[in-house]
Structure 1
Amino acid sequence: MEYVKLGNSDLTVSRIGLGTWAMGGWMWGGTDEAQAIAAIHRALDLGINLIDTAPVYGFGLSEEIVGKALAERGRRDEVVIATKVGLEWDDRQRVWRNATRARIRQEIEDSLRRLRTDYIDLYQVHWPDPDTPIEETAEELHRLYKEGKIRAIGVSNYTPEQMEVWRQVAPLHSNQLQLNLFQAHLLDTAFAYCADHDIGTLTWGTLAHGLLTGKITADTTFPENDLRSRHPLFKGERSRQYLAAVERLKALAAEYGKTVAQLAVRWVLEQRGVSVALWGARRPQQLDEVEGAVGWALSAEDLARIRRILDETITDPVEPRKKQGPPARSELAAKTE
């Protein structure tokens, strides 16, 4: 495993982190707790020391699974737990953004209980909350940091402009951002800002919701409660273009004796500003290829070949969504009026 200091924090983290969104089951067609716990233990055996979770992943279930797995394993001080704050939900599974002081104070206690710990290593604001001043959110996380309840302060999905406001009132150690071979639109903006200001990064969507594993074909179907059943990467002519790109990338990966998943993760790790690539899994077998993604490098020539493959194969790319993530409180209120 490769390790790196996370930005300007005191945390040393594995360059591949375990993503646990799917373990919560919500939007991923359910969960299997025993398999999820086995996956966490397998990740630790592989040298992965960063586990990324969030309260909204299964409405507390993912955090509970992480907490149970780590309690069984022991050696809490060897694990970097990264979780999030700033989303709220109701019993109808409606989710909205809420990064107010009061919500943060409630969530930190709920997360500590579910994770069975008395501190969180990296606490990240899940999505910017347009209804709450960035300064209010930043000040509250800074207060938790000074109290010792969190070891590092992070955000997720923040723009350079939002990070700049944050840094005027509180430290900022990391930003979690979307990045994969098919969705690299933030490299010249948010990732560049983080690189220029010594802010660590974690990448979500590293394997494009499984598309870059090489295991999805034109015949693959997803249950209705799986987000991929509606995602544009997996629909119509665009899906065929992305699958064709995967086949060409497989051939390039084979020249290194690697799989397309290993190639895709290696590409992410070699981008400027990237600290950690999150590898999502909910079964131990889904981590079989992790070791092959570290300890080697892509040549400059092959990085250029990858760019050509994408340009030649994907002629109608899925454009970045202008609005991602849950609505703000004000948006949800307007819809229900």
Structure 2
Amino acid sequence: METIEIGNSGLTASRIGLGTWAIGGWMWGGTEEADAIDTIQQAVERGVTLIDTAPVYGFGRSEEIVGKAISQGGLRDKVVIATKVGLNWGSDEKPFRDSSPARLRQEIEDSLRRLDTDVIDLYQVHWPDPKTPFAETAEVLEGLKKEGKIRAIGVSNYSPAEVDDFRKGGSLDAVQPPYNLFEREIDNDVIPYAELNGLTALCYGALCRGLLSGKVTADREFEGDDLRNNDPKFQAETLPNYIAAVDDLHALAQERFGKSVLALAIRWVLDQGPTIALWGARHPRQLDAMADVEGWHVDDAAKAEIDAILKRHIPEPISPAFMAPPLKAA
């Protein structure tokens, strides 16, 4: 498994990280704890050393499962635990942004308890909260770092200008944006900013919520609170265009590299800069394709073919903005 240093933190992690949003169950139709624990432990066996979670993933459920899997498997010294901070919710379980100092200090204690650890390796602000000065948020996290409760600091869903403001108050090692073949808004800002400033980019949604797995069909239905029911890409009028693009991408991957579209999608993210691709899974079988990502690269000619396919089928890409939580409670 390829590895990368996370900023200047001294932490080294696998370039494929396990994303555990689905493991929390919320917005993914539920989860089975035994399968989830098995998935985490098998991911580590396959060389994955970065586990990314967040309090809002199941409102504590994902962190608890990650903590159990690591503790029961005796894996703490083998993994980099990345979690997040800065979202709040009420009894209605509707998240909103809250990076107030009091919230940050409450969340660190809750996350340490749920994850069954005394230190979090990478602590990331989940969404920018304009109600609190970004530099003030950084100062609080820098204080937690000095207290030994966290080892490295990151931000998620921040623009370069917001990152600049954040860095006025403390150090920064990582950014976490949405990034995949279909959602490339950061090509011209966050990715070059990360390269220029020595930051590592943990890219979430690397398979675009399963769309780039090659397994989504036009008649696929999603149950319960599955967020894809609200994703514009998965609606009847747009999904066929994305599926057509996936089909052509799969043909390219097979012809040029003997790989699946899933492997192509992950390899493309890894070849874009100082990146980690977050691989979402909640069943061990969803890890099987990881071995296909190692040992090759998407060359410039193939990247040009990919761009042509996307332009042909999706001339007006749809952004991931639908996932953004509100600035305050409803």
Shorter-chain TM-score range: over 0.9
Distance 1:106 1:132, change over 3 A: same
Q: Deviations over 1:241-267 (max 9, x none)?
A: 100000001111112121111000000
Q: Partner of 1:190 in structure 2? A: 190
List gaps (5 residues or longer) in structure 1: none
Q: Could you tell which deviates more after superposition, 42-51 or 186-195?
A: 186-195
- The answer (yes or no) to whether the contact 2:263–2:289 under 8 Å persists in 1 is yes
Q: Deviations over 1:147-197 (max 9, x none)?
A: 111010111011111111111220000010010000001111111111110
- The answer (yes or no) to whether the contact 1:88–1:96 under 8 Å persists in 2 is yes
SS of the equivalent of 2:310 reads helix
Q: Partner of 2:21 in structure 1? A: 21
Measured after TM superposition, the shift of residue 236 of structure 1 is 2.3
User: Letter of the aligned partner of 1:152 in structure 2?
Assistant: A
Measured after TM superposition, the shift of residue 97 of structure 1 is 0.8
Q: Partner of 1:262 in structure 2? A: 263
SS of the equivalent of 2:269 reads helix
Measured after TM superposition, the shift of residue 228 of structure 1 is 0.6
Matches of 1:155 and 1:59, distance apart in 2: 20
User: Letter of the aligned partner of 1:211 in structure 2?
Assistant: L
SS of the equivalent of 1:121 reads strand
Q: Partner of 2:145 in structure 1? A: 145
Matches within 5 A, 1:152-171: 152-171=152-171
Measured after TM superposition, the shift of residue 75 of structure 1 is 3.4
Q: Partner of 1:60 in structure 2? A: 60
Q: Partner of 2:202 in structure 1? A: 202
Measured after TM superposition, the shift of residue 318 of structure 1 is 1.5
Matches of 2:89 and 2:110, distance apart in 1: 14
Q: TM-score with structure 1 length normalisation? A: 0.95
User: Letter of the aligned partner of 1:271 in structure 2?
Assistant: Q
- The answer (yes or no) to whether the contact 2:218–2:236 under 8 Å persists in 1 is no
Matches of 1:39 and 1:319, distance apart in 2: 30
Matches of 1:77 and 1:128, distance apart in 2: 31
User: Letter of the aligned partner of 1:267 in structure 2?
Assistant: W
User: Letter of the aligned partner of 1:93 in structure 2?
Assistant: E
Measured after TM superposition, the shift of residue 320 of structure 1 is 5.3
User: Letter of the aligned partner of 1:138 in structure 2?
Assistant: A
User: Letter of the aligned partner of 2:272 in structure 1?
Assistant: Q
User: Letter of the aligned partner of 1:191 in structure 2?
Assistant: I
Matches within 5 A, 1:9-88: 9-88=9-88
User: Letter of the aligned partner of 1:13 in structure 2?
Assistant: A
Q: Partner of 1:105 in structure 2? A: 105
User: Letter of the aligned partner of 2:92 in structure 1?
Assistant: R
List gaps (5 residues or longer) in structure 2: none
Q: Partner of 2:216 in structure 1? A: 216
Matches of 2:85 and 2:268, distance apart in 1: 29
Matches of 2:2 and 2:125, distance apart in 1: 26
Q: TM-score with structure 2 length normalisation? A: 0.97
Q: Deviations over 1:111-141 (max 9, x none)?
A: 0000000000000000000111112110000
SS of the equivalent of 2:237 reads helix
Matches of 2:296 and 2:217, distance apart in 1: 28
RMSD of aligned alpha carbons: 1.2
User: Letter of the aligned partner of 2:271 in structure 1?
Assistant: E
SS of the equivalent of 1:70 reads helix
Q: How many residues align?
A: 329
User: Letter of the aligned partner of 1:193 in structure 2?
Assistant: Y
- The answer (yes or no) to whether the contact 1:238–1:316 under 8 Å persists in 2 is no
Matches of 1:135 and 1:164, distance apart in 2: 9
Measured after TM superposition, the shift of residue 317 of structure 1 is 2.5
Determine what percentage of the aligned residue pairs are the same residue.
54
Matches within 5 A, 1:290-305: 290-305=290-305
- The answer (yes or no) to whether the contact 1:49–1:78 under 8 Å persists in 2 is yes
Matches of 2:179 and 2:319, distance apart in 1: 13
User: Letter of the aligned partner of 1:186 in structure 2?
Assistant: I
Q: Partner of 2:125 in structure 1? A: 125
Q: Deviations over 1:268-297 (max 9, x none)?
A: 11113x321100001111111011112211
